[in-house]
Amino acid sequence: MDKRYKHLNGEERGVILAEHRRGASLGAIGLLLGRSASTIGRELRRGRPEGDPAQPYCAQLGGERYRAGRKRCGRRLKLVKGGWLHDFVRGKLIHKRWSPEQIACRLKSMHPDDPSRLISHETIYAAIYAQPKGGLKAEMIAALRQHKPARGLRRTTLAGGSIAPESLRIIHRPKEIEVRLVPGHWEGDLIKGAFNRSAVGTVVERKTRFVILSSSSVKQSIRGIDCSAERAAAPPTRRWKASPAR
């Protein structure tokens, strides 16, 4: 059962009108429609002329008053085209190439006691990307420091964010390496921690599963992988033989 509240529609107002004329109670009407008695009572008061309890309920009047009240709900837009705030933001953004953060800070310093002339940088971003496609939207996006076509998209490299070149991707691995028949093939990887503050570099011999770890920052781990690969290419030592893979 959907527990989200739904406003009364025209059909329900017709049922309220018919049942109220029959003399049904608020609870009986609410039970019939699956509504609370308080909802029915508010609708009856809304549909009476001037709210007079002695007047009969009018479903059409109740619907009109409901729609008029809905138009007054919600937040009013601050960046309305033609307004002072809209012209100020547009001029600073397009002509002076200010960032939304700079515009918001300047307005706060200019009008600290006037909330009608203050705006958040997030509101400016939302207004830019809410513009319909056209020259004005492209002009505003081009004025931003990052010319992203949509809010929240991250820039990636051609390789999809990978530090490995295309020729070294796993999909291009030769078959003789994939089946793990001959030792001597090594595979390196980089495991990054939260917010890229730490990293662990791994070099694994695919046949014996011998692992070399390098734990440090991201850049140092990448260097560690290179050094480990060079050491791994050397002939095995006694220490390696004493540490078999498990």
Q: Which DSSP string corresponds to 205-226? A: ETTT--EEEEEE-HHHHHHHHH
Higher pLDDT, 51 or 215: 215
* pLDDT at position 226: 58
Q: Which span out of 134-148, 203-217, 222-236 was modeled with the highest average pLDDT?
A: 203-217
Would the pTM count as exceeding 0.85? no
Q: Which DSSP string corresponds to 142-194? A: HHSSS--SSTTPPP--TTTT-SS-GGGSGGG--HHHHTT-SS--EEEEEEE-G
Mean of the per-residue pLDDT values of the chain = 77
Confidence of residue 31 (pLDDT cuts 50, 70, 90): very high
Residue 16 and residue 43 in contact, taking contact as beta carbons nearer than 8 Å: yes
Confidence of residue 241 (pLDDT cuts 50, 70, 90): very low
C-alpha 89/C-alpha 107 separation (Å) is 9
pLDDT for 42-73, tens place per residue? 999 898 887 677 788 898 988 899 888 888 87
In a 3-state reduction of DSSP, which class is residue 128? helix
Indicate the domain borders of the chain: 10-72, 84-143, 166-241
C-alpha 9/C-alpha 16 separation (Å) is 11
C-alpha 164/C-alpha 169 separation (Å) is 7
